[in-house]
Amino acid sequence: MLKTNYPVSVDKISKKIGRFFSKLPVNPNTWTILSIIPGVLGFFALVYQQMLLGFVLFFISGFFDAIDGGVARVTRKVTKLGGYLDGIIDRIIEGLLLIGLLLFGLPDLVLFGYITPAYLWISLQLFFGSVFVSFARAYADHKGIITDKKVLSRMPGILERTERLFLIGAGMLLYYLQPIYTTYVIFIAVILSVITFLQRVFFVVNYGAKK
């Protein structure tokens, strides 16, 4: 697994988890692959209208993701292949979460007097949050505009993946106060994801113009 862009507090927690689980005879890539299992189960929980169970299972999947990164750093087994697998599986898990919520059937929002279907906001979150926020960084590297990893790691973003998943997880719990709250949280996540995408595009354009 490659070095991630966790907030400092989350990174410290990840390392503590890594020290504990590094005592087990399981390598980081195995932890990464294992995170798919609760993610798939969480998807089916949402399909069968079990929001709380889905939340718990996706939380477990995220916990496994923290284990793989922590173990990789603690045991000094950080590899490019591990980073690749981690990134691919992260996208799969997030996709399962959002498609699961799409099939769950959340209430629609009324904005400015118009009914906007929940599936629209979930689809936009999948499009911008899960795909284009990451793509904006990866494509800058791929095209050789930003090749310095330190610069890439400083790329701004108001809603990184960790914060994005925490926000959606909070929305899943708010479902039990009022189902519409979950849709509102996804709507907020969409707005913040679009802002994050634009932040990264402007950052790359400004950086490229100065070269």
pLDDT digits (tens, 9 = 90+) for 149-165: 888 878 888 888 888 99
Position 59 pLDDT exceeds 50: yes
* Banded model confidence at residue 40, pLDDT cuts 50, 70, 90: very high
Joined tokens for residue 188: 């907020």
CA dihedral sign of residues 5, 7, 13, 16: positive
Looking at residue 22, the DSSP 8-state letter turns out to be T
What was the pLDDT predicted at 207? 80
Give the range among 10-14, 67-71, 193-197 with minimum mean pLDDT.
10-14
Closest by CA position to 5, among listed 168, 194, 196 = 196
Type of residue found at 70: G
Q: Across the chain, what does the average pLDDT equal?
A: 85
- Find the helix packing angle between 51-74 and 36-47, rounded to 10°: 170
* Banded model confidence at residue 22, pLDDT cuts 50, 70, 90: low
Q: Which of 17-21, 119-123, 143-147 has the highest mean pLDDT?
A: 119-123
CATH of 1-104, picked from 3.90.230.10, 1.20.1630.10, 1.20.120.1760, 1.20.1260.10, is 1.20.120.1760
Joined tokens for residue 3: 């070095």
Type of residue found at 150: K
Return the higher-pLDDT residue of 29 and 172: 172
Please state the rounded mean pLDDT for residues 24-29. 72
| Domain residue spans of the chain | 1-104, 106-211
Query: CB-hemisphere CA count at 13 Å for 201?
Result: 10
Type of residue found at 128: F
Position 14 pLDDT exceeds 70: no
* Banded model confidence at residue 4, pLDDT cuts 50, 70, 90: very low
What was the pLDDT predicted at 141? 85
Type of residue found at 46: L
Distance CA 138, CA 172 (A): 29
Contact 155, 203 (CB under 8 A): yes
Distance CA 161, CA 132 (A): 12
pLDDT in tens, 109-131: 988 888 999 999 999 999 988 88
pTM to 2 decimal places = 0.85
- DSSP letters spanning 175-190: TTT-HHHHHHHHHHHH
Return the higher-pLDDT residue of 88 and 26: 88
Position 15 pLDDT exceeds 90: no
- DSSP letters spanning 66-79: HHHHHHHHHTT---
